[in-house]
Structure 1
Amino acid sequence: MSEENTKSTDVGKRSFFWLNPEWISKGTYFLLVLTLLSGCSTFQRIKSNKLLASADLKNESFQSVVPIEYISNLPVFEVTIQGEVYRFIFDTGGYTVFSERLTDRLIGLAKPSYIDVKDGNSTVSRINTYFLDELEIGGITFEKEGFATIGFTESEWFSCLGLDGTIGPNIMKEALWEVDSQEGHIILSDKSKRLEIVDSGHTIPLYTDPVFKPSLDLQIGKEIKRVGFDTGFNGFLKLIGKPSSDYLDSYPSVLRLGNRTNAGNSIVFSDTKMVKLDEMGLNGIVFRNVITSVGNQFSSDLLGSQLFDQYKILIDLSGKALYLEEFETKPERQTKIESFGFGLDFRAGKVVIDYVYQPSAAHDMGVKPGQEILKINGRHYAFSSYCEFIENFQLPMENTMELELLQEDKPFFVSLTRQTIL
């Protein structure tokens, strides 16, 4: 699902996909961010923009604790619609989106408009927009919300997780949302004075666009970059850039060849650059040794949901502020990439090489993206579906690995040792 390798993410680490997905299809970004395409009809764009920004709050004077779980490092909670409970991603960087199967179940929907969009891979497609009377989150009722149906919800990399859609900033703007990953909940409130983090936390100014998607300023070297804050992106940081980006040239880097990226309605295979920044500034907060991916196929710069690993965060879109309170004990953020030199994926019923680092021993020995893996340390892996793969696949614990690959219809053997790639 994700890509960012901010937690020792490549092949060679034993972990379930649900908790730390990066060792599988580490090129598979879970980007739900969408951007308006300037070439679409002006009338439809304005109409859809207004619709997708709409939502009202029915309740007054409230505070509700909403349980959350993290699936592929994405915050997920329950939403009640027309008396049924569904599971949605908390996604600051996208629209409110319902899966087509959910939309088909709902009664009394009107399809007032459409919009042409670019997804995170800069692929253009048309989506339909709708209007819903109300939904509930933690007993709090939101009315007259606009939402869209987008093809990514029908993809196996989404539906295997049992998700029904995403809650976007049109709904978030109506309340305050304090996300605490260690306690496993979101506090949903109408007043900041109810929340201690407003006084004790570090304040970050936010900027919002016409549909209330937030962005903030990062300092990288002498550059100030305005990046989207997108909790529907399960990495830490990604930046738009060509293989040679002026302000990134001086930092250590490696190439990731053949990286698979899922975003919106498209899947793209492309090369990305992994860069280690000595430090990154966020309005006075300094992050050191930050691993980021850089690619010219990305449609926007993003800071993602892995920020929740380090901080309790209050999101106030209407007040245009983010409040961060560092956890006393927190998991280590990855500051280097340790790997056997490649990542894995499941395609057309086969376990295959997803991407390969260059330079790496794997690359030097002829491992290539897309190659079928026959055996790992002598064991053959077979799965009936992608869902079975992500639920059940685990790698051995050893620091050495022997791969049996298929190359030109013949077995090809490679012995590798985990190494520091970056």
Structure 2
Amino acid sequence: MKHIALLCCLLSACTFTRSQSISLNQGGPATSKYYTQLPYEMVNGKMFVQVEIKGKLHKFLFDTGAPVALSKKLITELQLTEIHQGHLTDVNGTVSNAATVQIDSIKLGDVTFTGIPAITLFPDWYNCWNIDGVIGSNILRQSVVKLMSDKHLIIITDQPDKLALNKKHSVPLITNANKNQQSDPQIKILLNNKVSLTLGFDTGDNAFLRFTDDLMQQLAKYNSYEIVSKGFGATTIGENGLQPGAEKYLLKIPFINIGSARFDNLVTETNKGGIPGIGTKLLDYGDVTLDFINGKFYFDAKNDANAPDNKQWPFQPTFADGKLVIGVVWQKGMDKVKHGEQIMAVDGKDLSNLTLCQLMDNGPILGDKQSAVITLKAPDGQEQKLKIDKE
């Protein structure tokens, strides 16, 4: 599901459904022939932008895997009322209730959008980023959106000719707008030159590739991956909290193609449920354009051939019950650590009082290390130091 060096992958992909046929795909840009550049800040693979509502700037998460969302604070400030009730399924497959409000006017750069529905589900950990909302796919569905990774710019326009797009770098983009009530982008990738997959492009996920057990089983007949390890545990946090503990697999895929770019020996982790997808790690390798108007996804890679780091740690940490713990233990670590043990320190740095917000601000504790000494605390209070290596 993510590069194994990441401690805790906070995912925002979700699907919104309703008891009646009322869609989030309403409203849109107030004018035509528009073009604007919106700077973004990248923090641990999350994209943040400034938007304007009623003359005031607000910090929003930019998340193509989710619909537009607003915090309770902003809803109160804008004096918005609920227009509908529905259900939301997050990236882990957990369902919760969510109401809908409508934003009369919101500006992204120089472009004003009117009549945009927004959900009210706003998890507590969003407050770690001091954001007031989420820019999701339903507000983008009538535009062409280019993500320029080196310049940290988002171009939003209805004039794709201004972007000098290369058809050789494109794959189909599908939103199923008639069935899908938020128009989250789905793209076609090619697995080992023989299997075509449709996966979501989710800027709310800081991973590269997100896989599920169901997808793994569907691909088994094609001999398109190798199981390099098995494990048990939970690491991923969605809108509704930490995923349940479950059996997991590490898969090695010989190569995938996204447009004209190739990625070799890609290792990914499976999830028992949820939504497969590709996250913002892809932006490390080039620029992305989402042409919602013409149904095209462009990936302008810096290099045609890429070899992501596929080394793995013997376990994967996460954050649970207010502390940093062992989330998933892989086969190589089963004789050394146990699921749920608290991580007290890494290379002598005290992490015993680490908060979730600090983790989200500072990034993964193992970072770019290739080896580390960790201090673990068992449920009985016993502590041990353990040297681990990335292999």
The interval holding the TM-score normalised by the smaller chain is 0.7 to 0.9
**Alpha-carbon distance, 1:328 to partner:** 6.0
Does 2:41 match 1:69?
Answer: yes
Indicate the residue corresponding to 1:60 in structure 2.
32
Instruction: Report the AA paired with residue 34 of structure 1.
Output: T
C-alpha distance in structure 1 between counterparts of 2:368 and 2:156, whole Å: 41
- The 3 A distance-change label for structure 1 pair 397 and 71 is closer
Instruction: Report the AA paired with residue 351 of structure 1.
Output: L
- Check conservation: 1:33, 1:230, Cα contact below 8 A: no
- The 3 A distance-change label for structure 1 pair 73 and 395 is closer
C-alpha distance in structure 2 between counterparts of 1:276 and 1:329, whole Å: 20
Does 2:242 match 1:267?
Answer: yes
C-alpha distance in structure 2 between counterparts of 1:379 and 1:228, whole Å: 37
Instruction: Report the AA paired with residue 123 of structure 2.
Output: E
Indicate the residue corresponding to 1:145 in structure 2.
116
Does 2:134 match 1:166?
Answer: yes
**What SS does the aligned partner of 1:79 have?**
strand
For residues 149-298 of structure 1, the aligned pairs below 5 Å read: 149-150=120-121, 153-156=122-125, 158-196=126-164, 198-199=165-166, 202-210=169-177, 211=181, 212-221=183-192, 222-241=194-213, 245=217, 247-248=219-220, 250-270=225-245, 271-298=247-274
Indicate the residue corresponding to 1:82 in structure 2.
54
Does 2:294 match 1:323?
Answer: no
- Check conservation: 1:243, 1:273, Cα contact below 8 A: no
C-alpha distance in structure 1 between counterparts of 2:356 and 2:388, whole Å: 27
- Check conservation: 1:92, 1:213, Cα contact below 8 A: yes
- Check conservation: 1:201, 1:324, Cα contact below 8 A: no
- Check conservation: 1:34, 1:264, Cα contact below 8 A: no
C-alpha distance in structure 1 between counterparts of 2:319 and 2:207, whole Å: 20
What is the identity percentage for the equivalent residue pairs of Structure 1 and Structure 2? 22
Indicate the residue corresponding to 1:13 in structure 2.
none
C-alpha distance in structure 2 between counterparts of 1:65 and 1:243, whole Å: 37
Aligned equivalent of 1:119, options 60, 83, 90: 90
1:223-271 Cα deviation digits (max 9, x unpaired): 3222222222221112222597262465142234212221222322323
**What SS does the aligned partner of 1:355 have?**
strand
**Alpha-carbon distance, 1:172 to partner:** 0.8
Indicate the residue corresponding to 2:2 in structure 1.
4
Indicate the residue corresponding to 1:344 in structure 2.
317
1:104-153 Cα deviation digits (max 9, x unpaired): 2213x231111123222221211101111110011210111111111xx3
C-alpha distance in structure 2 between counterparts of 1:375 and 1:242, whole Å: 36
C-alpha distance in structure 1 between counterparts of 2:278 and 2:362, whole Å: 30
1:69-96 Cα deviation digits (max 9, x unpaired): 1122122211111222112222222211
Indicate the residue corresponding to 2:77 in structure 1.
105
C-alpha distance in structure 2 between counterparts of 1:130 and 1:272, whole Å: 38
- The 3 A distance-change label for structure 1 pair 354 and 239 is closer
Instruction: Report the AA paired with residue 334 of structure 1.
Output: P
- The 3 A distance-change label for structure 1 pair 94 and 243 is closer
CA RMSD, aligned part only? 2.8
Indicate the residue corresponding to 1:95 in structure 2.
67
Unaligned runs of 5+ in 2: none
Instruction: Report the AA paired with residue 150 of structure 2.
Output: Q
Q: Which moved more, 1:407-416 or 1:170-179?
A: 407-416
Across the two proteins, how many residue pairs are aligned to each other? Answer: 381
Unaligned runs of 5+ in 1: 11-21
When normalised by structure 1's length, the TM-score is 0.81
Q: Which moved more, 1:236-245 or 1:224-233?
A: 236-245
Indicate the residue corresponding to 2:105 in structure 1.
134
- Check conservation: 2:228, 2:250, Cα contact below 8 A: yes
**What SS does the aligned partner of 1:239 have?**
strand
Indicate the residue corresponding to 1:18 in structure 2.
none
Does 2:361 match 1:363?
Answer: no
Instruction: Report the AA paired with residue 54 of structure 1.
Output: Q
C-alpha distance in structure 2 between counterparts of 1:408 and 1:127, whole Å: 37
- Check conservation: 1:214, 1:228, Cα contact below 8 A: yes
Instruction: Report the AA paired with residue 329 of structure 2.
Output: V
Instruction: Report the AA paired with residue 324 of structure 1.
Output: F
- The 3 A distance-change label for structure 1 pair 373 and 192 is closer
**What SS does the aligned partner of 2:382 have?**
strand
C-alpha distance in structure 2 between counterparts of 1:147 and 1:127, whole Å: 10
C-alpha distance in structure 1 between counterparts of 2:369 and 2:189, whole Å: 39
